[in-house]
């Protein structure tokens, strides 16, 4: 019996906590509800609607309570602790809902990289895109923005701050920090690029060079040791092989005379000459 009482006493508060956001009793500040009509430029500084990690902008107009913004990164996909590849396109969509009764004009969207510790220290400003988009009451609009983080920033964390500037029909000017969180710029590991390929070619050439050097060394060492025991080669000319004589360089007439002379060897050239002179 007692056990069941204890169980219920534990379950009941847990259930209440789980069910509602404000289950615990706490003192709430009076939120100054400005109502539908937003007039003039002296609005009080409010924390941004979406970002609740970093402190709010120190000065300047804040967000309008009639507007609701949301951000979605389409490339690369994610919401927090993003890893942005350096040198590649980063795209995101900003959704804007007009919950009030007046028209809103979305003017510009700008993004910047800031120092993570020091919010006001700008490292890089990206282009400010001007849309001038009219959003009627009750309607939603989507804005697309893209930028490329520099490759040289790889390995460093930054605070990416995306701000939307808009105004309402009565001239009130608002600036809302749509995204204000720390991101990491990473470097993509390329599979096989030019540098790596030529490095391998160079290493192969070095190996081949070493092999050639080794072979030359072996040959020179072998020569020095010498092969004196080998028989000295003596040149014998054509005595060994009479069939090995090359007659191609002789003109054809001389060859014919030679053959004739061989057929009749008894006749000497002097005798022949005497014979002719007789004619």
Partner 1 sequence: MGRWWLLALACMAVATVRAEEEEASARLLASKHILNRYLVEDMDLVVKYTLYNVGQTAALDVHLDDFSFPEEMFKVVGGQLHVKLDRVPPQANVSHTVVLRPTRFGYFNFTAAEVRYKTSEDASQIQVAVTSEPGEGAIVAFKDYDRKFSPHVLDWGAFAIMTLPSLGIPFILWFSSKSKYEALAKGKRRRDE
Contact residues toward partner 1 (CB under 8 A) are 1, 4-5, 7-8, 11-12, 14-16, 18-21, 70, 72, 74, 93, 95, 97, 131, 133, 135-136, 138-144, 252
Q: In angstroms, rounded to a whole number, what is the distance separating the alpha carbons of residues 176 and 96? A: 11
Q: In angstroms, rounded to a whole number, what is the distance separating the alpha carbons of residues 93 and 97? A: 13
What burial letters (b/e) apply to 136-147, b meaning 16+ CB within 10 Å? eeeeebebebeb
Between CA 149 and CA 153, with CA 151 as vertex, the angle to 5 degrees is 75
| DSSP designation for 35 | -
Backbone φ, ψ for residue 256 (5° rounding) = -60, -45
Query: In this complex, which beta carbon is closest to partner 1, that of residue 11 or of residue 148?
Result: 11
Query: In this complex, which beta carbon is closest to partner 1, that of residue 94 or of residue 177?
Result: 94
User: Cβ of residue 60: shortest distance to partner 1, in angstroms?
Assistant: 26
Whether the Cβ atoms of residue 166 and residue 106 lie closer than 8 Å to each other: yes
Q: In angstroms, rounded to a whole number, what is the distance separating the alpha carbons of residues 88 and 80? A: 18
User: Cβ of residue 97: shortest distance to partner 1, in angstroms?
Assistant: 8
Q: Report the half-sphere exposure of 138 (CA within 13 A, side-chain side).
A: 1
Query: In this complex, which beta carbon is closest to partner 1, that of residue 73 or of residue 173?
Result: 73
User: Cβ of residue 143: shortest distance to partner 1, in angstroms?
Assistant: 6
Query: In this complex, which beta carbon is closest to partner 1, that of residue 8 or of residue 215?
Result: 8
Tell me which H or E stretch contains 19.
helix 2-19
Q: In angstroms, rounded to a whole number, what is the distance separating the alpha carbons of residues 220 and 144? A: 74
User: Cβ of residue 199: shortest distance to partner 1, in angstroms?
Assistant: 34
Query: In this complex, which beta carbon is closest to partner 1, that of residue 131 or of residue 153?
Result: 131
Query: In this complex, which beta carbon is closest to partner 1, that of residue 19 or of residue 27?
Result: 19
Tell me which H or E stretch contains 254.
helix 252-263
User: Cβ of residue 194: shortest distance to partner 1, in angstroms?
Assistant: 25
CB atoms within 10 A of CB 38: 20
User: Cβ of residue 244: shortest distance to partner 1, in angstroms?
Assistant: 27
Q: In angstroms, rounded to a whole number, what is the distance separating the alpha carbons of residues 40 and 174? A: 11
**β-sheet bridge partners, residue 96:** 69, 141
User: Cβ of residue 148: shortest distance to partner 1, in angstroms?
Assistant: 17
């Amino acid at each position: 019996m007692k056990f069941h009482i204890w169980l219920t006493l534990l379950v009941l508060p847990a259930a209440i906590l789980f069910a509602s956001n404000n289950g615990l009793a706490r003192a709430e500040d009076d939120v100054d509800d400005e109502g539908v009509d937003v007039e003039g430029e002296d609005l009080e500084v409010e924390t941004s609607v979406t970002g609740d990690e970093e402190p709010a902008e120190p000065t300047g107009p804040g967000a309008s309570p009639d507007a609701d913004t949301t951000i979605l990164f389409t490339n690369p996909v994610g919401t927090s602790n993003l890893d942005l590849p350096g040198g590649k396109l980063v795209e995101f969509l900003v959704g804007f809902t007009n919950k009030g009764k007046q028209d809103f004009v979305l003017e510009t969207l700008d993004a910047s990289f800031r120092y993570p510790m020091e919010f006001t220290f700008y490292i890089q400003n990206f282009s400010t895109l001007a849309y001038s988009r009219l959003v009627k009451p009750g309607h939603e609009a989507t804005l697309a923005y893209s930028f490329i983080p520099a490759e040289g920033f790889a390995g460093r964390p930054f605070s990416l701050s995306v701000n939307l500037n808009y105004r309402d029909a009565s001239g009130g000017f608002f600036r809302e920090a749509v995204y204000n969180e720390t991101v990491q710029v990473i470097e993509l590991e390329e599979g096989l690029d030019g540098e790596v390929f030529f490095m391998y070619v160079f290493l192969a050439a070095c190996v081949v060079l070493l092999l050639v050097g080794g072979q030359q060394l072996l040959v020179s060492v072998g020569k020095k040791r010498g092969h004196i025991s080998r028989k000295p080669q003596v040149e014998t000319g054509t005595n060994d092989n009479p069939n090995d004589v090359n007659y191609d360089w002789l003109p054809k007439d001389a060859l014919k005379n030679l053959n004739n002379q061989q057929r009749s060897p008894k006749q000497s050239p002097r005798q022949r000459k005497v014979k002719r002179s007789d004619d």
